[in-house]
Amino acid sequence: MEGVKFTEEEIRRIIDGLNFEKLQGIIPAVTVDEDGKVLMLAFMNKEALERTLRTGMMHYWSRSRRRLWMKGEESKHYQYVLGAYTDCDNDSVLFKVHQVGPACHTGEYTCFYRGLKEYKGGVEILRKLEAVIQERMRSPKEGSYTSKVVKAGMREAAKKLSEEAAEVSVAALAEDRERTVYEAADLLYHLVLLLQMKGANMEEVYRELWKRRR
């Protein structure tokens, strides 16, 4: 894969338009994946930004090591540029990237995985579930049920979803409230898994529901 590359004229215009003086020669750089999930925050000097825009691969400035570095130069977890944005004050940048493997050196997909006070709403837990499924699809894990279904293919995923839908119906008709909720959670998991295998996500489902509401 190749990231988006900028022309020399575009590179000059972008760099000249940014305020590097505010933080003595560097600016914050935020990266998000294709779905808008925040992956990491690092810093760039002019050279790092120039190399990023010219090569289509994310480069940063290490404040502790005092040197330029390319994401994935050791881990092979490269970040390919899909788009670039500046904030309203022109003193920070945001990149949309295609992330290869986890972004965090700990092995987590994102560096922002430590919850200080987690929002426990439905949308957030489904996003976390999507992230886990995506990771299993990228890096199959021995003994993982998700990896097993993904390996078996779409026919198996569709079969499992149908089975779970039937179990929710049975629980609603013949069992108690708690069992119905339990089976509904299984159904949602299998729905999210099937969507991911199809190259879709729950955000698209939400948008479709909003369209129908209107």
The per-residue pLDDT for 136 is 94
> What whole-number distance in Å separates Cα of residue 53 and Cα of residue 34?
18
Please compute, for residue 123, the number of CA atoms within 13 A of its CA located in the half-sphere on the CB side: 5
CATH number of 8-99: 3.10.20.810
Range 122-213: architecture per CATH: Orthogonal Bundle (1.10)
CA-to-CA dists, residue 163 to 158, 177, 184, angstroms = 9, 19, 12
Cβ neighbours around 150 below 10 Å, total: 19
Strand pairing partners for 31?
Answer: 40, 95
The per-residue pLDDT for 127 is 86
> What whole-number distance in Å separates Cα of residue 191 and Cα of residue 196?
9
Q: Note down pLDDT in tens along the chain; length 214 residues.
A: 899 999 999 999 999 999 999 999 999 999 999 988 999 999 999 999 999 999 999 999 999 999 999 999 999 999 999 999 999 999 999 999 999 999 999 998 999 988 787 666 777 889 889 999 999 999 999 999 999 999 999 999 999 999 999 999 999 999 999 999 999 999 999 999 999 999 999 989 988 998 897 6
> What whole-number distance in Å separates Cα of residue 161 and Cα of residue 167?
10
DSSP class of residue 57? B
> What whole-number distance in Å separates Cα of residue 150 and Cα of residue 158?
11
The per-residue pLDDT for 178 is 96
Domain with CATH 3.10.20.810 in the chain: 8-99
Q: pLDDT tens for residues 143-181? A: 999 999 999 999 999 999 999 999 999 999 999 999 999
The per-residue pLDDT for 211 is 87
> What whole-number distance in Å separates Cα of residue 210 and Cα of residue 204?
10
pTM: 0.61
Domain with CATH 1.10.287.1080 in the chain: 122-213
Helix (H) or strand (E) segment spanning residue 168: helix 154-174
Token pair 């505010």 is found at 22
